[in-house]
Amino acid sequence: MNIAVLIKQVVDVELNIRVKNDALVEEGLTYVISNWDEIAIETAIQIIESVGEGTVTLISVGPDRVQDALRRGLAMGADEAVHILDTAIDGSDSYAYAKLFAKILEEQDYDIILGGKQAQDTDAGLTMSMLAEFMDLPQVMNVSKIVSLGKEQCTFHRRGELGNELIDITLPAVLTPNDSLFEPRMPSLRGMMQSKKKPIETKSLSDIGVDPDLVGKSGKKVKVNRLIQPDQRKGGQIFEGEEAETTKQVLALLAKNEVGKENLFT
């Protein structure tokens, strides 16, 4: 069974994020594999372990630093990686990325294509479904449990609007895991050593036969015009001490607060 995992390296959103002149302040930022993509890598590795054979190939798009993300994925246990490096891809939106990945994956023969349900930097959640459509493949998003895995068909639980769905899907298929499907493993020391020997192939758009018009400035459908920093909530009054005391203090303040008074004390 051959699995492709599409991963995105993103700014670490746990850090202090600042916006200046309508754009992100890059200074002081570090990069990580998008959280949901890490779960996708873990899912791929666990599926291969379960099935007993196969390969996990990571694919990522971006500048040189993306190699760090790919190395980490290899250290977790993926077998090989492909890095698409081309400035023409800059400024792509979900649609353009989906078109690009579809072109890349069409040439290959993957049984399962995994990815994160949304990227931690954009929170758009569009790419994987668009990809599934461009490739005319069935999709199961938000997979909450792997029920059975077969060469041609798999069964999953997924969390849908109505509840827990039991779904049979034929392969090849596109999947995104739920937050809780698996906890991504920390790469072991051995994993890190081994990752150095695993191949990362770097390719440009012309290497993969993709017209630059498909992506970037020409290919994208949606533009992010600017970033806005919403008013940050600040911590208010915090009380420490005997609960009987502190609770009474907070209650007194709530009774005087407009919103508190109206909702909690009428």
Residues 40-79, interacting with another protein (CB under 8 A):
none
Cα–Cα dist 215/97, whole Å: 7
151 binds another protein (CB under 8 A): no
Using the minimum distance from each CB to another protein, give the nearer residue, 81 or 174.
174
Cα–Cα dist 221/92, whole Å: 9
Choices 50-58, 80-88, 196-204, 254-262; region in contact with another protein by CB under 8 A:
254-262
Give the DSSP letter string of 34-90: -HHHHHHHHHHHHHHHHHS--EEEEEEESSTTHHHHHHHHHHHT--EEEEE--GGGT
28 binds another protein (CB under 8 A): no
Q: Closest distance between another protein and the C-beta of residue 226, in Å?
A: 5
Residues 6+ apart with CB under 8 A from 8: 33, 34, 37, 60, 61, 62, 116, 119, 121
3-state secondary structure (DSSP) of residue 195:
helix
Choices 45-53, 80-88, 205-213, 223-231; region in contact with another protein by CB under 8 A:
223-231
Q: Closest distance between another protein and the C-beta of residue 185, in Å?
A: 17
- Conformation bin of residue 179: beta by default, left when phi > 0, alpha when psi is -120 to 50: alpha
Size of the site for another protein (CB under 8 A): 85
Burial class (CB in 10 A: 0-12, 13-18, 19+), 194: middle
Q: Cα 203–46–170 angle (5° rounding)? A: 80
98 binds another protein (CB under 8 A): yes
Q: Closest distance between another protein and the C-beta of residue 89, in Å?
A: 16
Between strands 55-61 and 23-24, the pairing is unpaired
25 binds another protein (CB under 8 A): no
261 binds another protein (CB under 8 A): no
Sequence letter at residue 130: M
221 binds another protein (CB under 8 A): yes
Choices 12-20, 62-70, 78-86, 195-203; region in contact with another protein by CB under 8 A:
12-20
Near another protein in 182-211, by CB under 8 A: none
253 binds another protein (CB under 8 A): yes
Among 72, 71, 80, residue whose Cα is nearest residue 48:
80
Using the minimum distance from each CB to another protein, give the nearer residue, 19 or 193.
19
223 binds another protein (CB under 8 A): yes
Q: Closest distance between another protein and the C-beta of residue 252, in Å?
A: 10
Give the one residue of 53, 64, 107, 262 binding another protein; rule: CB under 8 A: 262
Using the minimum distance from each CB to another protein, give the nearer residue, 38 or 79.
38
34 binds another protein (CB under 8 A): no
